[in-house]
Chains A and B, each alone.
Chain A
Amino acid sequence: MKGLIRNNFYSMENNIKISFVIALFLAVVSFFVKQEGFIQMIIAMQLSIFIVNVGTSLHADVVSKWNKFELTLPVKSNDIMKAKYISFTILILLGIIMGSITAVYAYAANGFSNARSICYGYEFGLTLSAAMAGIMYPLMLKIGTEKNEIIMIVSAIAAVGLRALLSAVLTPLTGEMNMQHPLVGIVSAIAAAVIFIGSYFVSVKIYRHKEFS
Chain B
Amino acid sequence: MWGSDLLEQNPDFYKVMECPWTGEKVVCVRSLRPDYSIIHVQEADIYGNARILGPNYQDVLLSRASGHVILTTERIVGTYRMQEEPKLTAIPHILVDAVVELPGGAKHGICYPEYLTVDFDLHKEYQKAVKSGEVPKFAEKMLEGRL
Query: Does B associate with A?
Result: no
